[in-house]
Copies of this chain bind each other. A is one copy, B any other.
Amino acid sequence: MSQKRVWLFREGNATMRNLLGGKGANLAEMTNAGLPVPPGLTITTETCMEYIDNGNKMPDGLMDDVKTALTDVENQIGKKFGDASNPLLLSVRSGARLSMPGMMETVLNLGLNDETIKGVLELTGNDRFAYDSYRRFLTMFGSVVLEIDRDKFEKILDEIKEEEGVILDTEVSVEGFKKSIELYKELIKKETGKEFPQNPMEQLQAAIEAVFGSWNIPRAIAYRNHYKINHRYGTAVNVQTMVFGNMGNDSATGVSFTRNPSTGENKFYGEYLTNAQGEDVVAGIRTPKPIQELANEMPALYNQYVEIAQKLERHYKDIQDMEFTIEKGKLYILQTRNGKRTAQAALKIAIDLESEGIINKEKALMLVDPAQLYQLLLPSFDEESKKTGILLSTGLNASPGAAVGKIVFDPTEAAERGQAGEKVILVRVETCPDDIHGMISAQGVLTARGGNTSHAAVVARGMGKPCVAGCETLKVDLEREILTTPDGKQFKKDEIISIDGSTGEVFAGAITTVEPKMGADFDKLLSWADDVKKLLVRANADTPADVEKAVELGAKGVGLCRTEHMFMDPERLPVVQEMIISGTKEARKEALAKLLPMQYQDFKDMFKALKGLPMTIRLLDPPLHEFLPNKEELIEKVATGKAKGEDVSEDAKMLEIVEELSEVNPMMGLRGCRLGLTYPEINEMQVRAIFEAACDLKKEGFEVKPEVMIPLIGHVNELKAARDVLEEVAQKVMEEKCVQVDYQFGTMIEIPRAALTADKVAEYAEFFSFGTNDLTQMTFGYSRDDAEGKFLNNYVEQKILPANPFQTLDQEGVGQLMEIALEKGLKVRPNLKRGICGEHGGDPESVKFCHKIGLNYVSCSPFRVPVARLAAAQAVIEEKE
C-alpha cells in the first residue's frame, strides 16, 4: 500500500491507473505532457478502501494532506480557496480504475458561498452567471452530497418559473435565481437539520466523503457484479480547479481539431467565442468565430495553442479534438481526445501522419476504421441533401449503396425501361427468380417483405445493387400499382423515390448522390496492409464480372462461387425448371445436359479471370422450390380461375409440383448435399462442367485451381458418399481430356454437427470453409428470414444480445464451434486448408477473430475485400500489442 494518499497532477502519470484511477492518471499524463491543464489533485483509490474499512471515517491526516496539496494548487493558479476577492472554485469527481459511468455525479463550483460569490460577481461582472452558478452548486451539493431528493430542488425552481410566467431555466430572472438560492438553503436546513455549510473546506470534505461512500451504494455494487469488477478496487477522487472563459474580453472558450475532420486536410480547424462559457459555443446563441481569428485577437495565446495542439498530435499520434478556455489571458486545455472523422479524412490523415514522420505504417493502418473504408467504394447520399429529404419508411439495409429512380412495379417493365437508359427502382412485395431481369436493369430494389437472406437481398448483394428489403410498413399494391406509406401517402408508378441500402431508408423524391472516392492513398494503405497481414482475402463471386471486380480490389481467389446464382439467370431458369419438374432421372439428365454447356462457359470465364488463383465452387445448395413460382400466388390463381370456370389445368399441375417440393422449414430441409445425394445427377453435371472447363483451359496454357465444395455436411458419411461419386466424375473427365489439373475436394462447416465431429469430417475434406451464415442460424436456432424482423432487432435494442449475430460473428457460441472444428480437424489433417465464406468474412471484428483462431483466408463480397484486407492487417498489429 502506498503511503502517499494525495497526489498533485504533476506527480502522477498514465501508468498509475490502479492507484489514481483512470481519470486521475490521464489528468496527470496531460499535465506532464506540458499541457496547461487546470491544476488539481487526486486522492488514491486505496484511500477510498481505507475510508470504507474504517467504518466510513476519513483517515487521520487525510484532510491535512489535501490542504497541503490545495495550497500548491492555489499557488499554481493564483487564486485562493474561500477567498472573497479571487476565489478558487473546484470540481470534485470520482474516478475508478475501470470506468463505471453514472455511478456518481460530479460536484462543480465547490467553494461558492455567500462570501465567495462576491468575488465571482466582481471578476465576471455577470450577475446572471454568478447566481446561476451558485444555484447549480447548491442543487448538486444538496442532492449528491447531502442526499436530498433532487426533485425538491426542481420543484422550487418550477414554482419560481410559474411566478415569473416563463418556461425555460434560461428565461428565469437574476432575482429569481437569487430567490431560489435562499429557498434552497432553507430546504437544506429543513431536510438535514443543519445549515448549508458556508465553510469551503467543510464543503470539500463532505464532497470527498460522498464520493468514497458512493463506492458501496447498491447500484455501484450491482454494476460491479454485472461487469465482474473487483469490489476491493475503490475509487479515486479528483479535485480540480474550475476555470472560466467568461471573465471579460481577455477570456475566451472554444473547440478545435488539429486537422480538418471532414477532408483530412492538414490545417488547424475550429471555432471560439470571446468572453463566453463552453456551452455558448455549442448552443448557437452567438455565432462562433473561426479559430484563425484568434491569431489576430490574441496572437500570443493563439501561437501557444497551436504549439500545444501540434505537440498533442505528436504525443497521441492522431488528430486531436480539443477544448480550451482562456481565463484572463491564461490558456487552459480542458480536454483532448482523438477526433472523429469521415472515411475520406481518416484515410488522408493516416497517410499524411505517416509521411510527416509522426507515425509508422502500422500505426497508420490502425488509424482507419475498416468499416469506414467500405463507404469509399460505394455511391452514397449527400448528408445535407438527406436532411432535406422526406423519409417515408425504414426497412432492412439489405444491400448497401444509394439509388434514385422512378417507381416501377413490373419487373419486365423495369427491365425494358432500364435497358432503355431510364433510372427506375423496382418495387415488389418480394422478389423471385422470375424478377431477375428487372433487378438487373433497375438502379435499386425495394421490397415490402423478406429478410436479409431473402431472394431480393441475396441477389442484390451479389450484383452490388442497392436494396432495401422487408420494409413492412409500406404497402405494395401490385395490381393497382400503388405504394402506400404508413401515414397513408400514396406513390404511383413513375413517381421518384430514393433508397439507401446502407441504412434501409426510403425517401420521397431525388436525394443527391455522391460518387465513390478512391485513389493513391487508398492503394497505398492497402498495400501496407498486405505487407502486414497473414490472412489471405478471397471474394465471394458468382460471375466473371464479379471475379474481375474482386481481383481488382485485391482478392487472392474466389472463396465461394454459388452455382445456384448461375441457375437463376433468366435465360437458364426455364431449363432449371424443366429439370425440376421432370419426374424421372432420365428427364432430369436431359435437362441437365442443356445446362452443362452454360455452366461450362461460366466456369471457364471465371477461371480465366482468376489468372491461376484458386476458386472454391459450392455445388447446388438451395431447396429446389426456390427455382419455381411462388406457391401462394399459384393457389390464389388456381382458386380464382376455378371459381370463374376457366381452364387452370396447367397452373394446377405446377401447383402440385410446387406443393410436393414445398417444406415447412426449407432452411433445414432438402438442400445442400442432401439434394446431391438424392439427385446425384445434378452434382455430377456440375462437377463435369467444372472439370471440362478446367481441363480445356489448362490445355490452352492457363493455370486453374478448382476446389469443389460440398455444402451442408452434418455427418462424414454424407461427404464420403458425395465425394466418392464426384471424384469418379472428375477422374473420368480428366481421362477424357487427357490432362490432369490440381484440385481439391472439401466442405462447408455450417451445421453444428459437422463442427462437433470435424475430426471425422476432415478425413474426407481437404479444406473446411466455415459457412457462418448457416452456422449462426443453427447454433442460435434463428431463421434469418424471420428473426430479424420478428424479434432479433428487439433483442439487440434490449441488449439481450450484444449485436446481431448475422452481422458480427458470435464468438462465444458460433466461434466456439469454429474453434472446436479447427482443433479436431487439424488433429486429423494438419495441412487442412481453412477459411470462412459467410458474410462475416467482410466484417472487421469477425475478420480479426478469424485471424486469431488461425484461419488461412476469409472470403467476402468483392466490395468488402479492401475492408477485410485492412482488418486482417489490424488483427496482426493488435496481436503484437
Question: Is A677 interfacial (CB 8 A cutoff)?
Answer: yes
Closest to A636 in B: B639
Chain B min CB distance to A793 (Å): 11
Residues of B with C-beta under 8 A to A795? 677, 718
Contact with B along A584-602 (1 / 0, CB 8 A): 0000000000000000000
A316 within 8 A of B: no
Which among A150-158, A526-534, A778-786, A833-841 touches the partner chain?
A778-786
- With A639-B636, A756-B813 as contacts: A799 and B670 at CB distance below 8 Å: no
* A653-706 contacts to B (CB < 8 Å): 663-670, 674, 677-678
Interface string of A769-796 (1 = CB under 8 A from B): 0000010011111110111001100110
Residues of B within 8 A of A791 (CB): 670, 674, 677-678
From the candidates B669, B790, B800, B816, name the one contacting A783 in the complex (CB within 8 A). Answer: B669
Residues of B within 8 A of A750 (CB): 781
Q: A833 CA to B569 CA in the complex, in Å?
A: 55
Q: Which residues of B contact A636 (CB under 8 A)?
A: 635-636, 638-639
Query: Contact mask A710-731 → B, CB, 8 Å, 1/0?
Result: 0010110110010000000000
Binds B, one of A164-172, A496-504, A640-648: A640-648
- Looking at the assembled complex, report how far the CB atom of A761 sits from the nearest CB atom of chain B, in whole angstroms: 11
Interface pair A667/B664, CB less than 8 Å apart: yes
Q: A817 at the A/B interface (Cβ < 8 Å)?
A: yes
What residues of B have a CB within 8 angstroms of the CB of A635 in the complex? 632, 635-636, 639
Which of chain B's residues have a CB closer than 8 A to the CB of A677? Answer: 791, 794-795, 798, 800
Residues from chain B with a CB closer than 8 A to the CB of A810 are 753
A639-B635, A644-B643 are contacts. A781–B666 as well, Cβ < 8 Å? no
Contact A786–B817 (Cβ < 8 Å): no
* Chain B residues with CB under 8 A of A236: none
- Please state the number of chain copies in the assembly: 2
State whether the Cβ of A64 lies closer than 8 Å to any Cβ in chain B. no
* A770 → chain B closest CB, angstroms: 14
> What secondary structure prevails in chain A residues at the interface with B?
helix
Task: Please give, as numbers and ranges, the residues of chain B lying within 8 Å of A785 by CB-CB distance.
Answer: 663-665
**Size of the chain A interface, CB-CB below 8 angstroms:** 61
Residues in B whose Cβ lies below 8 Å from that of A539: none
B756–A779 contact, CB under 8 A? yes
A279 interfacial contact with B, CB 8 Å: no
Contact A800 B721 (CB under 8 A): yes
Tell me if B674 and A783 are in contact (CB < 8 A).
no
Cβ contact within 8 Å between A800 and B756: no
- A 802-814 to B, binary, CB cutoff 8 A, 1 in contact else 0: 0000000010111
* Alpha-carbon distance between A631 and B632 when the two chains are bound, in angstroms: 9
Residues of chain B within 8 A (CB-CB) of A639 are 635-637, 639-640, 643
Q: Which partner residue on chain B sits nearest A450 by CB separation? A: B664
Q: A19 near B: Cβ within 8 Å?
A: no
Residues of B within 8 A of A786 (CB): 663-666, 668-670
- Smallest CB-CB separation from A815: which chain B residue? B756
Q: Which residue of B lies closest to A814 (CB)?
A: B753
Q: A640-B642, A643-B639, A791-B674 are in contact. Are A668 and B753 (CB under 8 A)?
A: no
CB contacts (< 8 Å) of A774 on chain B: these are 781
- Bound CA span A801–B716, Å: 9
Residues of B within 8 A of A712 (CB): 781
Contacts A639-B639, A801-B715 given; indicate if A781 touches B668 (C-beta within 8 A). yes
- Cβ of A752 within 8 Å of any chain B Cβ, yes or no, is yes
Chain B residue numbers with a CB within 8 Å of A641 are 643
Q: Are A817 and B756 in contact (CB under 8 A)?
A: yes
Q: Is the CB of A781 within 8 A of B751?
A: yes
Question: CA–CA, A638 to B639, complex, Å?
Answer: 9
Contacts of A780 in B (CB 8 A): 714-715, 751, 753
- CB pair B800 A779 closer than 8 Å: no
Given A632-B635, A643-B643, A781-B778: A798 and B756 within 8 A (CB)? no
With a cutoff of 8 Å between Cβ atoms, the chain B residues found around residue A485 in the complex are none
Any B CB within 8 A of the CB of A13: no
A643 to B757, CA, bound (A): 55
Scoring A residues 4 to 33 as 1 if CB is less than 8 Å from chain B, else 0, what string do you get? 000000000000000000000000000000
Bound-complex Cα distance A629 to B667 (A): 23
**From residue A607, how far is it (CB to closest CB) to chain B in Å?**
31
The CA of A750 and the CA of B781, in the complex, are separated in Å by 9
Considering only CB atoms, which chain B residue lies closest to A641 in the complex?
B643
Contact with B along A103-114 (1 / 0, CB 8 A): 000000000000
Q: Which residue in chain B gives the minimum CB-CB distance to A660?
A: B472
Residue pair B668, A777 in contact (C-beta under 8 Å): yes
Report the separation of the CA atoms of residues A637 and B635 in the bound assembly, to the nearest whole angstrom: 10
Give A619 Cβ to nearest chain B Cβ, in Å.
16
Could you list 10 examples of A-B contacts with CB < 8 Å?
A635-B635, A635-B636, A678-B791, A712-B781, A715-B813, A718-B795, A751-B780, A752-B779, A778-B778, A778-B779
For the complex with contacts A635-B636, A665-B665, A677-B800, 15 further pairs of A-B residues with Cβ separation under 8 Å are: A636-B636, A636-B638, A640-B640, A640-B643, A641-B643, A667-B781, A668-B786, A677-B798, A678-B791, A717-B800, A718-B795, A721-B800, A751-B781, A752-B779, A753-B780
| 10 pairs of A and B residues whose beta carbons are closest in the complex | A643-B643, A665-B783, A668-B783, A639-B639, A753-B813, A669-B786, A664-B785, A663-B786, A665-B665, A670-B790
Residue positions of A touching B, CB distance < 8 A: 451, 631-632, 635-644, 663-670, 674, 677-678, 712, 714-715, 717-718, 721, 750-753, 756-757, 774, 777-783, 785-787, 790-791, 794-795, 798-801, 810, 812-814, 816-817
